[in-house]
Amino acid sequence: MVFSSVQFLVFFVVVYALYWRLDHNKQHWLLVASSYYFYAAWDWRFLGLIVLSTVVDYIVGARIHAADAPGLRKRWLVVSLAVNLGILGYFKYAGFFVTSFEDLLGGLGLEVSRTTLDITLPVGISFYTFQTLSYSLDIYRRELEPTRSPVAFAAFVAFFPQLVAGPIVRAREFLGQLEARKRFDPENLEKGLRRFLFGFLEKSFIADTLGVWVVDPVFAEPGQHSTGTLWLGVLAYSVQIYADFSGYSSMAIGSARMLGFRLPENFAYPYLARDPSDFWRRWHMTMSRFFRDYVYISLGGNRAGPLKTQRNLAATTLVSGLWHGAGWNFVAWGGLHGLYLAINQQMRKLRPPASRPSWVHGLAGWVVTHLGVCLAWVLFRAQGFDLARIYLQGLAGFSGEGRLELPPLVWLAFAAFVVDHIIGWQSENDPSFGTRPRPAWLRGLGYAATVVFLFHTKQEVTPFIYFDF
């Protein structure tokens, strides 16, 4: 049930109408029931995994909180880690590790019989397992008290607007909102609809247009296309993956807002970043902070000297890459970003403390940063190292001669992305820019024009890219 489908719109209207007619406790039951139905619409067989994670972490959270002995608290935490990471490891990584081990034995000259594991990846498993796991970890760290309501906890784990692709929401951000009584607010309705509509525009127009006309044909046969076309392809993918995932996040945030909930932001105009650290402060922010807080800091962060800091940084980015996909190209993508971050840290140390970069240095930093980001996206998008190698060679000039015939809609999609980031730059430099009141008639005209535009430019409904992760 994709957000950009008619089925979801009908589903949400029904849930929304029922939600505001129920009292507080029954609203929780409706959220759980509707979220389970939403997930079952993808594949009902995997609904039990969400229920299992919910039951385990609800019990574990209460046991950790009640235990005084550090050893007992740690043993209960291990139960949560084993269940959640075990589920994630089996469904997402079992086939990858088996194949990698067989390749290793084959490389050593040993004969092995190939094993085929036909394991279907449950949609959203990387997201909801992290959410339930963060609940147990925060209670273990004494940063959160467990909820007494199993229904509220189930609603937190399975909350349908962000269930399958985030943002990754922590219990301490969401459970308090569940406990607060909700009252219908027309402002929430308008702001939620506006955010949903903007996300719809990002996904259905910008991302899908670039995906269909540029990204898919170029990455399918990189050796057949000219160097210029390959550069256009990687630029298009850089925009596509941003618009696709940012669009989903906006639709999730908008849906939640209409129901009276505030979800954390997931993107902050990442292609305005001037260095790799700034990029990761802006890109998929809820994932970045999860790995920062639960992996990087747990390993020691920057508290144990420069060498161990680099080790912790490398480990975090490699794990982050593997989280995105069960493939060595994703690990390499994470490792490459780890290298970028390490180089950026060393460059900062060489800069005099009181110096302020000139606009020339800022522009150079922006260009170098996004050149590196684009090259890394090749590893992320290509179906394996062989195609990535061919693509990178093509970018360097060793390419074919094929070119694409592109309709004006493609250039309009690029222009819409540029306008989006110009507005972001203006908002960052003038905080009052986005808060200036606009007449109701002008807002209504803008919404109507957007709907009409989407109706006339609509591509075929496609799954969101991050549903594969």
Is residue 3 included in any domain, yes or no?
no
Q: What is the DSSP letter of 402?
A: B
Instruction: Judge if 224 and 138 occupy the same domain.
Output: no
Is residue 225 included in any domain, yes or no?
yes
Instruction: For 127-156, give one letter per residue: b (16+ CB within 10 A) or e.
Output: bbbbbbbbbbbbbbeeebebbebeebbbbb
Is residue 2 included in any domain, yes or no?
no
Q: For residue range 352-370, what is the model confidence (pLDDT) as tens digits?
A: 665 666 777 788 889 999 9
Is residue 1 included in any domain, yes or no?
no
**Of 313, 317, 248, 244, nearest in space to 287 by CA:** 317
Instruction: Judge if 116 and 240 occupy the same domain.
Output: no
CA 419, distance to chain mean position in Å, is: 22
Q: For residue range 331-351, what is the model confidence (pLDDT) as tens digits?
A: 999 999 999 998 888 887 777
The answer to whether residues 259 and 19 touch, using CB atoms and an 8 Å cutoff, is: yes
Token match 């430019």: residue?
457
Is residue 373 included in any domain, yes or no?
yes
- State the total domains in the chain: 2
DSSP code per residue over 216-281: HHHHHSGGGB-HHHHHHHHHHHHHHHHHHHHHHHHHHHHHHHHTT--PPP--S-GGG-SSHHHHHH
Distance, CA of 136 to CA of 59 (rounded, Å): 10
Q: For residue range 164-205, what is the model confidence (pLDDT) as tens digits?
A: 877 989 998 899 999 888 889 999 998 999 899 899 889 888
The answer to whether residues 257 and 243 touch, using CB atoms and an 8 Å cutoff, is: no
Is residue 369 included in any domain, yes or no?
yes
Is residue 7 included in any domain, yes or no?
no
Instruction: Judge if 177 and 195 occupy the same domain.
Output: no
User: Residue 359: is it exposed, middle or buried by C-beta count within 10 angstroms (0-12/13-18/19+)?
Assistant: exposed
Distance, CA of 79 to CA of 58 (rounded, Å): 12
Which of 183, 209, 234 finishes a domain?
183
**Of 62, 251, 260, nearest in space to 155 by CA:** 260
The answer to whether residues 230 and 394 touch, using CB atoms and an 8 Å cutoff, is: yes
Q: Which amino acid is at 337?
A: H
Q: Whole-model pTM?
A: 0.89
Which of 157, 183, 209 finishes a domain?
183
Instruction: Judge if 165 and 195 occupy the same domain.
Output: no
ω before 167 within 30° of 0 (cis)? yes
Instruction: Judge if 90 and 208 occupy the same domain.
Output: no
Select the more confidently predicted residue: 94 or 387: 387
Question: Could you give the residue numbers annotated as active site?
Answer: 324
Instruction: Judge if 417 and 268 occupy the same domain.
Output: yes
- Mean pLDDT over each residue of the chain, to the nearest integer: 86
Question: HSE of 342 in the Cβ direction (CA atoms, 13 Å)?
Answer: 18
Instruction: Judge if 272 and 243 occupy the same domain.
Output: yes
DSSP code per residue over 64-131: HHH--SHHHHHHHHHHHHHHHHHHHIIIIIHHHHHHHHHHHHHHTT----------PPPTTHHHHHHH
**Percentage of the chain modeled with pLDDT above 70:** 88
Q: For residue range 41-65, what is the model confidence (pLDDT) as tens digits?
A: 888 888 999 999 999 999 999 999 9
The answer to whether residues 265 and 245 touch, using CB atoms and an 8 Å cutoff, is: no
* Least-confidence region, from 215-219, 379-383, 445-449: 445-449
Specify the pLDDT at position 56. Answer: 94
Instruction: Judge if 245 and 217 occupy the same domain.
Output: yes
Which of 163, 183, 203 finishes a domain?
183
Q: Which residues make beta-bridge pairs with 402?
A: 225
Instruction: Judge if 179 and 217 occupy the same domain.
Output: no
Instruction: Judge if 151 and 44 occupy the same domain.
Output: yes
Distance, CA of 227 to CA of 236 (rounded, Å): 14
pLDDT > 70? residue 452: no
Which domain covers residue 173, as residue numbers? Answer: 21-183
Is residue 27 included in any domain, yes or no?
yes
The answer to whether residues 92 and 127 touch, using CB atoms and an 8 Å cutoff, is: no
Mean pLDDT of 112-138: 81
pLDDT > 80? residue 70: yes
**Of 409, 417, 404, 411, nearest in space to 229 by CA:** 404
pLDDT > 90? residue 213: yes
- Under the banding of pLDDT at 50, 70 and 90, the label for residue 451 is low
What percent helix, strand, coil does the chain show, rounded to 5? 75, 0, 25
Instruction: Judge if 432 and 286 occupy the same domain.
Output: yes
Distance, CA of 464 to CA of 323 (rounded, Å): 17
Instruction: Judge if 251 and 335 occupy the same domain.
Output: yes
Specify the pLDDT at position 435. Answer: 64
